[in-house]
């Protein structure tokens, strides 16, 4: 059974850093791209970043480019999102999501999310 579990969320001051993690089970992580998608309180969905199955290709939303870094460790079955220079507008629930097929950007399994609050 496919599972994705996020962790690492919390309250952080503007300008500081936070690292959230997604641990997966029930499938071979090395065969799939993993994405982060966020949802600000009461708002819609915003795609944040992807790391391809090969771990080489990584793409980011313009709103986080240069501040966020996605990485993966297939041996640990985790995908991390390092978030630096955090802003109030980064406050959101952060979901990790598996893509249905390589490079498809269709999200077939999602975690429950981890809450990140950026506030002084």
Going by their DSSP bridges, the two strands 34-39 and 45-51 should be labelled as: antiparallel
Residue 53 makes contact with other proteins by CB under 8 A: no
Smaller CB separation from other proteins, 15 or 105: 105
Choose which of 59, 69, 77, 82 interacts with other proteins (CB under 8 A): 59
Smaller CB separation from other proteins, 27 or 47: 47
Residue 46 makes contact with other proteins by CB under 8 A: yes
Terminal C-alpha separation, the chain: 40
Rounded CA separation 26/37 (Å): 21
Q: What does the per-residue mask of binding to other proteins show for 2-31, with x meaning CB under 8 A?
A: ------------------------------
Q: What does the per-residue mask of binding to other proteins show for 88-117, with x meaning CB under 8 A?
A: -------x-x--x---xxxxx-xxxx----
Going by their DSSP bridges, the two strands 18-25 and 78-83 should be labelled as: antiparallel
Smaller CB separation from other proteins, 54 or 108: 108
User: Is 103 exposed, middle or buried, given 0-12, 13-18 or 19+ CB atoms closer than 10 A?
Assistant: exposed
- Give strand pairing partners of 105: none
Cβ distance 64 to 48 under 8 Å?
yes
- Contacts with other proteins, residue ranges (CB under 8 A): 44-47, 59, 61-62, 95, 97, 100, 104-108, 110-113
């Amino acid at each position: 059974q496919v599972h994705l579990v996020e962790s690492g969320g919390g309250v952080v001051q503007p300008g500081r850093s936070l690292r959230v993690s997604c641990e997966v089970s029930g499938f071979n992580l090395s065969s799939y791209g993993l994405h982060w998608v966020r949802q600000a309180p009461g708002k819609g969905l915003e795609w944040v970043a992807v790391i391809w199955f090969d771990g080489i290709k990584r793409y980011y939303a313009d709103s986080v480019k240069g501040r966020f870094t996605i990485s993966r460790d297939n041996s640990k079955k985790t995908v991390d999102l390092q978030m630096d220079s955090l802003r109030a507008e980064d406050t959101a629930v952060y979901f990790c999501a598996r893509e249905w097929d390589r490079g498809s950007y269709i999200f077939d399994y999602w975690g429950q999310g981890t809450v990140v609050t950026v506030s002084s």
